[in-house]
Amino acid sequence: MELETDSCIVRRVILIVLDSVGIGAMPDAASYGDEGSDTLGNLARALGTLPLPNLASLGLGNLDDIPGTPPQKPLGACGKMGLLSPGKDTMTGHWEMAGIILEKPFRTYPDGFPPHVIQAFESRIGRPVLGNKPASGTEIIKELGEKHIRTGFPIVYTSADSVFQIACHEEVVPIETLYRWCEIARSILVGDDLVARVIARPFIGEPGNFTRTGNRKDFSLPPVRPTLLDYAKKSGVHVTAVGKIEDIFSGRGIDEAIHTVNNSQGIEVIKSLLMSPAAKVSGAGEGPRHLVFANLVDFDMLYGHRNDVQGYARALLEFDSSLPAIFSLLRPDDVLVVTADHGCDPVTPSTDHSREYVPLMIYGEPIKEGIMLGTRESLSDLGATVAELLGIEYRGAGKSFARQILKRTQPG
């Protein structure tokens, strides 16, 4: 069901994904080794309190036991969503959110990549590799960075996700060369050896003091079917991708991509987009339609995977404190959505993603107050809802709840 484009009262949706901010284990979490995971709840309990007053105003405290963030009537609508697709990685979560439910998980390599893959890669780049094992990105450059500098051999590693990661020092291997090697790996990792993402992981510094840089680049598998972004673009909705969204969707369905190096920059970009003249509309029902799709990655990349409880909490407090400014920039026909793609509980022994529900909070002038959406079966329900809100002709997975949350479905 779609709203007619000329009667659509929502002209802009700002969809913010707090990467890995899960809200409690799904029923099948034990089969993923994630029983007891609860990124937000465990984090707050470990600290004793986690006051997130602005997220509380959106209903976050209704969705989990979060000491310091109590339940209250939400300013808009809130609920949580499960993942129908198998897996618990970034691409799976984002793709399902955009209307693709996978039948089988992306392949992972818990013992490293098989000899025929590594041999093919080494032959193509003309040198051996170091590593070839699952590892933390910061730990493996600490372990092998000095040898890499001496030899020029790239460091290859993976994780619990479906990723082939290549780490190189920027003064040893030029960025352009590292990206070319990633393209070579991407061409090799197909068919039975398919991985979701090949990731360039450049770093700088001296032994004992290596630092990863902001020149990370993902070479992702293109979506297997049209996504919300494809349908949006086809329907004349301007799509702006912030953070790693362009990489996750291989650039498909995106009009404008803005890469960011951290959460702070991502938040500033979102605020800038809300203020930009191109995004302004003069009143409800007028002006171009616009989807801003943003990913804030620090929760996952810097803190979840490193079991950094204090860092994770600081990042949440920073985002929470940014919300009043974001609220103030919303126009009468804007809708703000805050959600996540999976969990990455920094309190449990695991440093991997966790199979969790994710929060869903929706706010804006067009949205009713105090709406409790319960537990949605699939993240794809959000994609179907965004499509209906923006009047997009949509054929992806998901069940829209737009009519449940809108104050009205047409102007006047």
* Residue that wins the pLDDT comparison between 278 and 281: 278
Least confident of 13-17, 99-103, 149-153, 218-222: 218-222
Instruction: Kindly report the length of the chain.
Output: 412
Domain boundary among 171, 195, 220: 220
β-pairing, 358-363 vs 334-339, is antiparallel
Please state, rounded to an integer, the average pLDDT across all residues of the chain. 93
Domain limits at 29?
5-104+223-405
Is 256 inside any structural domain? yes
Report d(CA 95, CA 291) in Å as an integer.
16
Instruction: Please report the sign of the dihedral spanned by the C-alpha atoms of residue 388, residue 393, residue 397, residue 399.
Output: positive
pTM, to two decimals: 0.90
353 annotated binding-site participant: yes
Contacts for 131-137: CB closer than 8 Å, 24+ residues apart: 131/155, 131/156, 131/157, 132/156, 132/157, 133/157, 133/158, 134/109, 134/110, 134/158, 134/159, 134/160, 135/159, 136/305, 136/306, 136/351, 137/165, 137/167, 137/201, 137/212, 137/305
Over residues 235-255, the mean pLDDT reads 96
Is 410 inside any structural domain? no
- For residue 103, the tally of other CB atoms under 10 A from its CB is 7
- For residue 232, the tally of other CB atoms under 10 A from its CB is 29
Using the predicted structure, report yes or no on whether residue 24 has a pLDDT greater than 70.
yes
Domain boundary among 220, 244, 276: 220
**Res 214: pLDDT:** 84
Residues 149, 39: one domain? no
Over residues 301-308, the mean pLDDT reads 93
Confidence of residue 360 (pLDDT cuts 50, 70, 90): very high
Residues 293, 154: one domain? no
Domain boundary among 220, 235, 250: 220
Yes or no: say if 379 and 55 are a contact pair by the CB < 8 Å rule: no
Over residues 51-62, the mean pLDDT reads 98
- Which helix (H) or strand (E) segment is 17 a member of? strand 12-18
Residues 279, 392: one domain? yes
341 annotated binding-site participant: yes
**Res 281: pLDDT:** 36
- The CATH number for 127's domain is 3.30.70.1250
Residues 181, 257: one domain? no
Residues 171, 302: one domain? no
Is 192 inside any structural domain? yes
Is 351 inside any structural domain? yes
Using the predicted structure, report yes or no on whether residue 4 has a pLDDT greater than 90.
no
Is 110 inside any structural domain? no
Using the predicted structure, report yes or no on whether residue 279 has a pLDDT greater than 60.
no
19 annotated binding-site participant: yes
Tokens at 230, concatenated: 């494809």
Report d(CA 283, CA 275) in Å as an integer.
15
Over residues 144-167, the mean pLDDT reads 96
Using the predicted structure, report yes or no on whether residue 45 has a pLDDT greater than 90.
yes
**Res 160: pLDDT:** 80
Is 124 inside any structural domain? yes
The total number of structural domains that make up the chain: 2
DSSP 233: H
Phi-psi region of 200 (alpha: psi -120 to 50; beta: other; left: phi over 0): beta
- What percent of the chain lies above the pLDDT cut of 70? 94
**Res 255: pLDDT:** 97
Residues 98, 232: one domain? yes
Over residues 200-227, the mean pLDDT reads 94
Report how far Cα 356 is from the mean position of its chain's Cα atoms.
14
Residues 189, 242: one domain? no
Using the predicted structure, report yes or no on whether residue 285 has a pLDDT greater than 60.
no
* Residue that wins the pLDDT comparison between 282 and 292: 292
Confidence of residue 283 (pLDDT cuts 50, 70, 90): very low
DSSP 354: B
Using the predicted structure, report yes or no on whether residue 42 has a pLDDT greater than 60.
yes
Residue type, 270: I
Using the predicted structure, report yes or no on whether residue 7 has a pLDDT greater than 60.
no
Residues 391, 285: one domain? yes
**Res 409: pLDDT:** 59
- In terms of Cα–Cα distance, which of 99, 109, 101, 198 is closest to 154? 198
- Which helix (H) or strand (E) segment is 371 a member of? strand 371-376
- The CATH number for 231's domain is 3.40.720.10
148 annotated binding-site participant: no
Instruction: Please report the sign of the dihedral spanned by the C-alpha atoms of residue 334, residue 337, residue 338, residue 342.
Output: negative
Using the predicted structure, report yes or no on whether residue 284 has a pLDDT greater than 50.
no
Residues 212, 238: one domain? no
169 annotated binding-site participant: no
Residues 216, 227: one domain? no
Is 109 inside any structural domain? no
Over residues 35-62, the mean pLDDT reads 98
Is 126 inside any structural domain? yes
Residues 372, 279: one domain? yes
**Res 277: pLDDT:** 67
Residues 155, 195: one domain? yes
34 annotated binding-site participant: no
